[in-house]
Amino acid sequence: MRKEYLFEIMWKENLDQHRTQRREDIINTAKSLFMERSLTEVTLKDIVEACGISKVTFYKYFTSIDEIIFEVEIDILSQWVNRIRETKLEGSNSYERLAYLLKVQLLEADIKMVRFTAMFDTLYQNNYPTPELEKKFRAYLQGGSHPFVSLIQSGIQDGSMRQDMDAREIGYTISNIVMASLHRNLLRGKLLELDQKVKNSVVMQNTMDMILNFVKVPSETQA
């Protein structure tokens, strides 16, 4: 009896592992297709064929292609946050660490990930496809500390940044500025240089300087 019970437990564990692995495989395969093409060009048929599964099997794991897209976006955002956490931010205070983080973000971003996020923002610019996905995505976004918000909070506390700022407001403002700059300069950079006759590297440097000048402690306060 005990052997049968142990066998049943092992069978369930293996089945759960198999399902988890299959789900991750579908997400990763879809992610590769999205990166190669675009969100509007990849169909559910493309995904199931690339995975070697049927639509029936697909629907055992996901309710729609929208759910897959949101899973990929969450995965990309998680990678971004984890990469920041794993990066040793150089600097003796939070202001200097913010300067280092901005440099890393604006000059060393992954163009494929930036492109996907730009497509995601465009596809879902007005509303979420379902209340369930809206709830899940918002819960993810609000579930942890944002790197820029955390740095602003630390800067206010250690005195290396202005004291009259709302850390959350400024942190997310910086995040949006950085993402918008990456969208524009990474995706249309070559044409922008020809159109505007300004090097992208100069635009990025000016963006960093404006952000840092805004958050730094005024010179008269330092004196």
Q: Nearest to residue 58, comparing CAs of 32, 27, 79?
A: 27
Contacts 24+ apart (CB under 8 A), 154-158: 154/94, 154/97, 155/93, 155/94, 155/95, 155/98, 155/215, 157/94, 158/93, 158/94
Q: Which CATH superfamily is domain 1-62 in?
A: Homeodomain-like (1.10.10.60)
Residue with tokens 């949101």: 70
pTM: 0.83
Helix, strand, coil share of the chain (percent; to 5): 75, 0, 20
CB of 19 closer than 8 Å to CB of 57? no
How does pLDDT run across 193-207, given as a tens digit for each residue? 999 999 988 999 999
SS3 161: strand
- Per-residue pLDDT of 161-180, as tens digits, reads 999 999 999 999 999 999 99
- Is residue 16 very low, low, confident or very high in pLDDT (cuts 50, 70, 90)? low
**Distance in angstroms (rounded) separating the CA atoms of residues 160 and 222:** 9
In single-letter form, the type of residue at position 28 comes to N
**pLDDT of the residue at 216:** 95
**Residue 160: is it exposed, middle or buried by C-beta count within 10 angstroms (0-12/13-18/19+)?**
buried
Closest CA to 183 of 103, 122, 100: 122
Q: How confident is the model at residue 11 (pLDDT cuts 50, 70, 90)?
A: very low
Q: Where are the domains of the chain?
A: 1-62, 64-222
Q: Name the CATH superfamily, with its identifier, for domain 64-222.
A: Tetracycline Repressor, domain 2 (1.10.357.10)
